[in-house]
Structures are given as C-alpha cells and as structure tokens.
Amino acid sequence: MMDFRKLVEAGVHFGHKKSRWHPKMAPYIWGFRNNIHLIDVSKTARQLEQAAQFLESVAAEGKTILWVGTKKAAQKAIAETAGRLGYPYVTHRWIGGTLTNHSQVKKSITKLLHLEDVLKKSDQSHYTKKELVTLQKNADRLNKNVGNIRDFTWPLGAVVLVDVKKEQTTLREATSIAVPVVGLVDTNSDPTFIDYVIPSNDDAPKAISLIINYLADAIERGQQKAAQKQQEEKTEAAATKEKKEASKGTEELKTKEPAKTADQKNPAKKAKAKETETEPKKEAASAAPKKKPVAKKATPKSK
C-alpha cells in the first residue's frame, strides 16, 4: 500500500466543513479539526490499493478505461495520465449520452474528423477566408468536447472519476450500463453507486495527482501483462502454423510416392511365400521315377 506520510503530505486527509458532510461518508471520516472533517488515510490507502488491483486486472484483459475530471484541479492530471496510457479522457465537458447513446456522439466525432481534413487541405479547397475561420471555430469547439474520446473503443472496462458530486451524469450513465466506477470521493459526496470508493480530498491538485499517478502505475503493469500475453499467443500461433505446414509437406510427399504392394511393404512375407512355392516343386521332383540310360547298339565297322 501507499505510505501514509505521502498521503498526509499531499493533503489527502482534508475534507469539507462539518456542515457540508454526507452521512454515508461517516465510515471513512477519522474526526474533525477547526470544524473541518479529516479523512482516515489508512482507509484511503486500503481502498486505493483495491482500486489499483482492479484497474490492473482490467488493463491486463485489454479493456478500455475512461478517465473523467472536468474540474480545474483535475484537468491537468487526467490529461497527462490518460495521454501517457493511451486511454480516452474527458476534461472539458461531459457530453450527455457518451456511454448510453454513443452512436450519436460518434456523429460529432465524424464531423470533427471531416472539418480537420478540410482545414488540412485548405490550399486545395474553394472556401473563402471567412468560411475557413468559421470552420476552424467549429473544429475547436468539437475538439474540446469530443476530441479526446475520438479513439474510444468498446468494451469499456472501467470509468475513473474525480469529484463524484460534479460528475453525476457520468456516474448515472456508467451505472445504467453496468460499468464499474472508481471514484475519488470527498466528505460532501454520496459514495452509494461507486464500486471502488477512494476517500480523498478532490479539490487539491497535489492530492489528485498523487492518487491518479498511483493508479496509472498499476495500469501500466496490467498493460505489460497484456502485451506479454499477446506476444505469447502470437508465438504459439506461429508454432502451430509451422507444424501444420510441416505435416502438410509430409502428406504431399506421401501422395507423390508410388503405392507399395503388400509384398514390398512386408519383404519377409514375400520370402516366405517363395519358399512355400518351391517346396512342392522339390517334392514332385523327388517323387518322380528316374529314367534308366538306354544302351547304344554297336555299328559294324566298314572294311
């Protein structure tokens, strides 16, 4: 688990005022000081470790992890971490239906790609300067909204949220399609629908960066496992392919060779058959009576 000192130094334990607390966060609150609730960092470390192990397993399966943090304190950490890991993220504004109605959001992504292509080939197009400026504004607006989820792919393994109270729409959509949610939950938020609650200060950039980086390290380990597994599958597939080709080559050679007769296949049997054929001939020859030589008559010599 993460060292408690690092969590305290980052200010993870600072919550909100007592008057703004949510009763369901009581198990994670250690006490209060100067009328401000203090989070139990031991429970934060334990919950953080559980969330890290879960995200590592999701990454090892090769599934997508969506990162969401639209508040200013979380935008930088989310953008840097998700960009490093190669996952889609949302830092500007959550578009309603991104998870539950992704086909419509995909139309906006297609429109963005079309505008970028037009602007890239502006030298060859017939648009005026004013029209190009309008197209550029539309492209910038779409890029802020959906530009970072253009590479979004299914299946979605998990959603990581910063400030559950602010990202209620994302939480509802993820819950409706049964996607596990990992969330940083402060003392003023409701942790009911969060699968992996990380009790933490969600207003301090240092605390958010510390927790997000810890989760990112676990995900990198999972990605390495997935890459190793994929490499092993490739080597196994190549080995089986070579075996099939080798067996196919031997079968072709067998078909090209002339078919052997039964005698050629078993030469001992052939020799035995020859012996059985010659034995009756020998017996017949021995049984036959021998002919006596005929004496020649003497012819008178002429004088």
Q: Are residues 22 and 129 located together in one domain of the fold?
A: no
Distance CA 236, CA 242 (A): 10
Domain hosting residue 107, numbered range: 98-150
Structure tokens at 30: 């250690």
Has residue 295 been placed in a domain? no
| H helix or E strand, kind and range, residue 41 | helix 41-60
- Listed residues 246, 266, 290: the one ending a domain: 246
Per-residue pLDDT of the chain (303 residues; tens, 9 = 90+): 788 899 999 989 898 888 888 999 999 999 888 888 999 999 999 999 999 999 999 999 989 999 999 999 999 999 999 999 999 999 988 998 899 998 889 999 999 999 999 898 887 778 888 999 999 999 999 999 998 998 888 889 999 999 998 999 999 999 999 999 999 999 999 999 999 999 999 899 999 999 999 999 999 999 999 888 888 888 888 888 888 877 776 776 667 655 555 555 555 655 665 666 555 555 555 555 555 555 555 555 543
Q: Say whether both 144 and 161 belong to one domain.
A: no
Residue 231 phi, psi (nearest 5): -65, -40
> 283 in a domain, yes or no?
no
Same domain, 230 and 108: no
Examine residue 303 and state whether it is found in any structural domain, yes or no.
Answer: no
C-alpha 291/C-alpha 69 separation (Å) is 123
The identity of residue 144, as a single letter, is: K
Position 44 in a domain: yes
Whether residues 142 and 158 fall in one domain: no
Report pLDDT for 151: 86
* Residue at a domain's end among 222, 246, 270: 246
The reply to whether 109 falls in a domain is: yes
Among 90, 213, 100, CA closest to 154: 100
Torsion region of 71: left, alpha or beta (phi above 0 gives left; psi -120 to 50 gives alpha): beta
Output the DSSP codes for 105-160.
Answer: HHHHHHHHHHHHHHHHTTTTS---HHHHHHHHHHHHHHHHHHGGGTT--SSEEEEE
Q: What is the CATH number of the domain that holds 19?
A: 3.40.50.10490
- 217 and 189 both lie in a single domain: yes
Q: Are 146 and 157 in a shared domain?
A: no
Residue 278: inside a domain: no
Walk across the sheet containing 64-68 and list its strands.
89-90, 64-68, 156-162, 181-185, 196-199
pLDDT value, residue 243 = 81
Answer yes or no: is 286 within a domain.
no
**CATH code of 135's domain:** 1.10.287
Sign of the CA dihedral with 17 first, then 2, 46, and 227 last: positive
Q: Give the pLDDT score at 303.
A: 39
**Quick one: 24 and 141 in the same domain?**
no
Check whether residue 161 and residue 50 sit in a common domain.
yes
Give the separation between CA 147 and CA 89, rounded to whole angstroms.
Answer: 9
123 beta partners: none
- The verdict on residue 32 lying in a domain is yes
Model pLDDT, residue 198: 94
CA distance 77 to 83: 10
Task: Report d(CA 207, CA 223) in Å as an integer.
Answer: 25
- Helices 102-120 and 129-146 pack at an angle, to 10 degrees, of 140
Q: How many domains does the chain have?
A: 2
Integer angstrom CA distances of residue 218 from 71, 110, 222: 24, 33, 7
Q: Are residues 35 and 168 in the same domain?
A: yes
Q: Do 144 and 174 have their domain in common?
A: no
Cα distance between residue 145 and residue 90, in whole Å: 8
Same domain, 81 and 192: yes
Q: Are residues 179 and 74 in the same domain?
A: yes
